[in-house]
Structure 1
Amino acid sequence: MGNNNMTGGNKSPLGNAPSPRFNMMWVWGIIAAGLVIWSFMSPSTAQSEITWRDFSEKILPSGNVEKIVVVNQRVVEIYVKHDKIAIYQKEDKYKNIPESGAQFYFTVGALEKFQNDYDRLVEEKGLINAPDLTFVEKDNGWSDIIFNVLIIAAMIGFWIFIMRRMSGGGGPGGVMNVGKSKARIFDKENDTKVTFKDVAGLGEAKVEVMEVVDFLKNPQKYSELGGKIPKGALLVGPPGTGKTLLAKAVAGEANVPFFSMSGSDFVEMFVGVGASRVRDLFKQAKDKAPCIVFIDEIDAIGRARSKNNGWSSNDERENTLNQLLTEMDGFGTNAGVIILAATNRADILDKALLRAGRFDRQIQVDLPEIKEREAIFGVHLQKLKLDPALDTAFLAKQTPGFSGADIANVCNEAALIAARNNKAQVEKQDFLDAIDRIIGGLERKNKVYKEAEKRAIAYHEAGHATVSWFLKYAHPLIKVTIIPRGKALGAAWYLPDERQITTREQLTHEMASLLGGRAAEDLVFGQMFSGALNDLERTSKMAYAMIAYYGMSEKLGNVSYFDSSGQAEMAFSKPYSENTAIEIDREVKALIDDCYAIAKNILKEHRQGLDNLANMLFEREVIFTEDLEEIFGKRETGE
């Protein structure tokens, strides 16, 4: 299915130019510039720092000291007599001392110790005319003022920064905005519009949702007759089938705002946040009505509530679900707001969510059929440079069970393969290689087989091909390969019939085909290899499904032990007795033995063809349907 991304942007009223926003970096820049200017404009004292030794041996004994001032009990400033300053300026290290104020200074540790040392110095030197110490306390003037202003500015700036972060700074991640809805809104004026033309396939689903589109376009058409449009529609289907794209197309066709949000966006570590986000989402939706609210993966919050509060319960998730139920059909009104939701686990949703008045209807979005796959290929191939001879119908036949996302992946992978091989256009073989790459995995070219291993693998794959060729209800074979891909050492590619129902005989033929590889190993080599693990696993699952789920056992009768509600996952016991379990195991083993016998008998009957096919596969590594027709003749097909 086509996928056009919707992107929205915030534009100013003047056009594309963004509106100016406040930035704290400007504040810090202005403060830093002020500090630099102040540092250049403030006068420099040019006082010369000296040591205690200089002071005690040269300056004080010279008799040139006029006064000594101890500032703030830490700094000792020495004032030289005015007429003696020139004496010191003649020395290089003192030539820049000022004419006024203090000429020298030094710092002291303990004031009391300095006083004692000074008194002892005066006494020892006999300095009778030495000046007495003067003690003053003074501030730093503008330095202290600017420092205090900077501290206050820093605190204010930090507070603004924290508040902006808490409020989200205009974004969704702030603490103060934790209860706000995280829904993206796609506006009809600013975003690329997706319509039903962009959605290939999904014909039946489109018909279902067209009623929603019609109501949003012409609400009076229904209200005049007293009818009410469904408040919600649940899109159910496997991953990649286009549920989200279909919801966007509904909004695009109706030409109304579209709120998109994932179910996990409601879940948060804070208590009450989920319910708050639900309220905020519906408040925004009511303001934009008529509009569509789309909740993807709604099973994240819509899972059935537990009846036992102590077992598998989550109060926060359940509170969010309760709020959603209230908003969808509570005491308030949501006129013009339609809820679309998507999930691939509708079986685990709460029953209250699915009742009439909330999600009134479920729209099944299934995997596309062959005609729908062809249309989907048509959408995705438009962007590729293709070989004119490429047939989209052929590609649709080669991709049974593929979703729209898988088909998009095939197209992209084919383009990459063509580019890797330096081709001018994407060809048929590139698509076939892409399909093999997606289904089987990356080809392991450096994997080296021993000759005996390679021959065993060739017979194994030839066994699959031979048995499926002579069973008319087995899936038609496309090709067989012994080139390793992913974890598989070899593979037989089939084109499954797209059936709506399956008979016991059809399932039996499929199981016999799966066991053909093991039967060939036993017939040719007289021993069994570990390479049949995947075949045995698939066969066992099909057999148990036939006996325990589909009621295809004559002994057990028409009894099914399948639980479609999913509640059996929480059960501590099986829904049947031990005697029944033993009987199921016996029936499964008997069924598998019968299928194995069918496969082995076919191989015995066509042993020469098996050998020829295995030898051809051993030499060429890949064979196709045409090669099997040469060996076995035309294949008989079922109805």
Structure 2
Amino acid sequence: MLKNKKGLPQFLTVAVIITILINIVIYFVSQSNYKQIDYSEFLTMVNNKQIESVEIDSDRLVITPKNEDNASALNKKLYYTGNLDYPQLVDKLYNADIKFTTPVKNTRLPIISFLLSWILPFALFYFLGNFLMKSMGNKLGGGAMSFGKSNAKVYVEKTTGVSFKDVAGQEEAKESLKEIVDFLHKPERYTKIGAKLPKGALLVGPPGTGKTLLAKAVAGEAKVPFFSLSGSGFVEMFVGVGASRVRDLFSQAEKQAPCIIFIDEIDAIGKSRDGNIGGNDEREQTLNQLLAEMDGFDSSKGVVILAATNRPEVLDKALLRPGRFDRRVIVDKPDLKGRENILKVHSKNIIMDESVKLNDIALATAGAVGADLANMVNEAALRAVRMGRDKVKQEDLFEAVETIIAGKEKKDRVMSENEKNIVAFHEVGHALASALQKKTQPVHKITIVPRTMGALGYTMQMPEEEKYLMTKEEILEQIVVLLAGRAAEDLVFNEVTTGASNDIERATSLARQMVTMYGMSDKFGMIGLESIQNRYLDGRPVRNCSDEISAEVDREVINIINKAYEKAKELLKSNMEALGKISSHLIFKETIMGEEFMEILNSVQNKELANA
């Protein structure tokens, strides 16, 4: 019943004491209804016929008086007096018409009495105490008497099941961590020259890039125990519990050295203490204990601390200094080759058709992280099963990409003919603006089938190669593409709709970044007017200028947007025949691919050249 055998003697002692106290209370309560009287007073009551019954025991007489004022049986007062062996007592009671008896001794009664008064209370207390301790253990983690115990999950070599082969797209991060693995395997190679094992490595990157997977891979490769827990697992409602858990964690780790401690989301306890008025005392005590433990343990024993966060800017400076976390390993979004390798890792157990080209999928998923790509491969496999196939085709993978980006096709939404026409011209406007400019990405697909994430249609562009830089001209042309949908609505229907809201938001964001961050404004030049906060999360910009400059920035952004919108209208005006013909074809088919789009555009342009 009780898992903590060390606390069993204390528990039994407390149970016995409480059982004795219960019996003492029961005895005094039972004796409270008895009152001792003199034998002479007893005889007087017999003569006055005030007694209902008498129980004659070997050493005393228990007297039950007649009811007074209709007193209940529970509230009736009993009397007792010593037994003087009065010879005529029986005759006297009989003549007074008083009931009398002598209790018959039952050999079973002492056993039953012992069970009821001692064993039953002890058993009840034992089960009740055990239930309460289990309940508190479920709520507080680890049992009522283990507030300060570490609740880290301990993995050993065979249970992590992850190696560096299972991690793709993060070659630089793996290279940094392989050295730690090698040190744990062959420490003499490094100690011979005087090198020391890094005490810790901080894994930094956006969510879903594989920081936890990398940490497990390090433990799997090193074949050492792996302590894994979250930063929030240290902090409890009781002050001092977190610090106690840190001490216990490092104590366990040193006993199992060499080993690896992995603290996920370390920003939960490692936030900066600078200017933190009225902060969380429990969190700060936990952080102080963690700093002390990282300074105190001997790295030669082979205890390595790995931590992961996507908010490195909020961490305390004392935590990041050399001697604690000696290395910062960046686990960033993968590039083209990295995405292709990740797709290969996640598709190795999926039956793929021979026509599948993972490079094309990698090109179409710029900005995706490992978790996104794993989800896309799984969605493609599910779609193949739904379609009744036993292999995943290229179309399944592209549909999975679109499902993750824009949601599933909403086939039950029926648009009116007018709305369908507006959406078709809107999307073809985007596609034409992309095809008619030099530094834009080629069109891969145009569709007017609504999606569950709110899109009534969309134009998908596919880059020909991975790019890490964008020129000013490329950004301006991209803004033109974004605004061309609204321009098509305005030119064809002489009215505008709410369908361009997301396009306007993205175009405005690009224009503002040109002015405030990229130094691409003729008016402001190379001045940083905004900076990125939480780079690995939402990447929201923070203003670094006065209100007057901010107002000027707004006017410059408006100027860029207006010029791009006018250019979009000019491009479409000079290609109205292509706009109409492609839109009609799109309305009929609802979805057309990039090759089909370019065939129609080229045929129209060739016809115009022939007539010119």
Instruction: Provide TM-score, normalisation by structure 1.
Output: 0.75
Q: Does 1:213 align with 2:206?
A: no
Please give the root-mean-square deviation of Cα atoms over the aligned residues, in Å.
3.4
Distance of aligned partners of 1:593 and 1:184 in 2 relative to their CA distance in 1, 3 Å threshold? same
The aligned residue for residue 457 of structure 2 is 490
Q: CA deviation at 1:330?
A: 4.1
Q: Does 1:181 align with 2:147?
A: no
Q: Does the 8 Å contact 1:237/1:365 carry over to 2? A: yes
Q: CA deviation at 1:593?
A: 0.9
Counterparts of 1:317-328 in structure 2 under 5 Å?
A: 317-328=283-294
Q: CA deviation at 1:588?
A: 0.5
Secondary structure of the 1:293 match is strand
CA distance in 1, matches of 2:126, 2:65: 34
The aligned residue for residue 549 of structure 2 is 580
The aligned residue for residue 43 of structure 2 is none
Q: CA deviation at 1:517?
A: 0.5
CA distance in 2, matches of 1:574, 1:395: 37
Q: Does the 8 Å contact 1:73/1:135 carry over to 2? A: no
The aligned residue for residue 388 of structure 1 is 354
CA distance in 2, matches of 1:74, 1:374: 97
Q: Does 1:538 align with 2:506?
A: yes
The aligned residue for residue 258 of structure 1 is 226
Q: Does 1:148 align with 2:117?
A: yes
Q: Does the 8 Å contact 2:150/2:249 carry over to 1? A: yes
Q: Does 1:464 align with 2:430?
A: yes
Distance of aligned partners of 1:593 and 1:167 in 2 relative to their CA distance in 1, 3 Å threshold? closer
CA distance in 2, matches of 1:435, 1:145: 75
Q: Does the 8 Å contact 2:242/2:283 carry over to 1? A: yes
Q: Which of 98, 105, 109 pairs up with 1:132?
A: 98
Q: Does 1:554 align with 2:526?
A: no
The aligned residue for residue 620 of structure 1 is 589
Q: Which amino acid aligns with 1:525?
A: F
CA distance in 1, matches of 2:429, 2:75: 100
Secondary structure of the 1:235 match is strand
Distance of aligned partners of 1:153 and 1:585 in 2 relative to their CA distance in 1, 3 Å threshold? same
The aligned residue for residue 370 of structure 2 is 404
Counterparts of 1:110-129 in structure 2 under 5 Å?
A: none
Q: Does the 8 Å contact 2:434/2:443 carry over to 1? A: yes
Q: CA deviation at 1:428?
A: 2.1
**1:444-465 deviations in Å (ceiling 9; x for gaps):** 1110111001100111111111
Counterparts of 1:374-385 in structure 2 under 5 Å?
A: 374-385=340-351
The aligned residue for residue 384 of structure 2 is 418
Q: Does 1:342 align with 2:311?
A: no
Unaligned runs of 5+ in 1: 1-19, 24-66, 77-106, 114-127, 635-639
Q: Does 1:500 align with 2:471?
A: no
Q: Does the 8 Å contact 2:528/2:544 carry over to 1? A: no
Q: Which amino acid aligns with 1:605?
A: S
Distance of aligned partners of 1:134 and 1:527 in 2 relative to their CA distance in 1, 3 Å threshold? same
The aligned residue for residue 325 of structure 2 is 359
Q: CA deviation at 1:134?
A: 3.1
Secondary structure of the 1:191 match is helix
The aligned residue for residue 489 of structure 2 is 521
Which sits farther off after the overlay, 424-433 or 175-184? Answer: 424-433
**1:161-205 deviations in Å (ceiling 9; x for gaps):** 158538959x953122121111111112x4254221222221111
Q: Does the 8 Å contact 1:274/1:316 carry over to 2? A: yes
Q: CA deviation at 1:612?
A: 1.1
CA distance in 2, matches of 1:399, 1:334: 44
Secondary structure of the 1:309 match is coil
CA distance in 1, matches of 2:297, 2:229: 24
The aligned residue for residue 301 of structure 1 is 269
Q: Does 1:370 align with 2:339?
A: no
Q: Does the 8 Å contact 2:582/2:601 carry over to 1? A: no
Q: CA deviation at 1:109?
A: 6.8
Q: CA deviation at 1:141?
A: 4.8
Q: Which amino acid aligns with 1:295?
A: I
The aligned residue for residue 42 of structure 1 is none
The aligned residue for residue 199 of structure 1 is 167
CA distance in 2, matches of 1:542, 1:616: 32
Q: Which amino acid aligns with 2:359?
A: A
CA distance in 2, matches of 1:515, 1:75: 105
Distance of aligned partners of 1:146 and 1:138 in 2 relative to their CA distance in 1, 3 Å threshold? farther
**1:211-248 deviations in Å (ceiling 9; x for gaps):** 11121112122222222232111111111111111111
Which sits farther off after the overlay, 393-402 or 274-283? Answer: 393-402
Q: Which amino acid aligns with 2:113?
A: D
Q: Which amino acid aligns with 1:413?
A: E
The aligned residue for residue 593 of structure 1 is 562
Q: CA deviation at 1:529?
A: 0.4
The aligned residue for residue 30 of structure 2 is none
Q: CA deviation at 1:632?
A: 2.4
Q: CA deviation at 1:149?
A: 2.5
Q: Which amino acid aligns with 1:614?
A: S
Q: Does 1:244 align with 2:212?
A: yes
Distance of aligned partners of 1:633 and 1:267 in 2 relative to their CA distance in 1, 3 Å threshold? farther
Secondary structure of the 1:302 match is coil
Distance of aligned partners of 1:69 and 1:583 in 2 relative to their CA distance in 1, 3 Å threshold? same
CA distance in 1, matches of 2:275, 2:74: 75
Q: Does the 8 Å contact 1:166/1:176 carry over to 2? A: no
CA distance in 2, matches of 1:493, 1:482: 12
Distance of aligned partners of 1:218 and 1:455 in 2 relative to their CA distance in 1, 3 Å threshold? same
**1:483-514 deviations in Å (ceiling 9; x for gaps):** 00021111111224532222211111111111
The aligned residue for residue 165 of structure 1 is 134
Counterparts of 1:56-71 in structure 2 under 5 Å?
A: none
Instruction: Provide TM-score, normalisation by structure 2.
Output: 0.78
Q: Which amino acid aligns with 1:205?
A: A
Q: Does 1:436 align with 2:402?
A: yes
Counterparts of 1:95-114 in structure 2 under 5 Å?
A: none
Distance of aligned partners of 1:136 and 1:522 in 2 relative to their CA distance in 1, 3 Å threshold? farther
Aligned length: 524
Q: Which of 608, 622, 629 pairs up with 2:577?
A: 608
Q: Which of 442, 460, 481 pairs up with 1:476?
A: 442
Q: Does the 8 Å contact 2:514/2:520 carry over to 1? A: yes
The aligned residue for residue 15 of structure 1 is none
Q: Does 1:267 align with 2:244?
A: no
**1:324-352 deviations in Å (ceiling 9; x for gaps):** 11211248667311111111111222222
Secondary structure of the 2:269 match is helix
Q: CA deviation at 1:521?
A: 0.8
The aligned residue for residue 27 of structure 2 is none
CA distance in 2, matches of 1:610, 1:374: 36
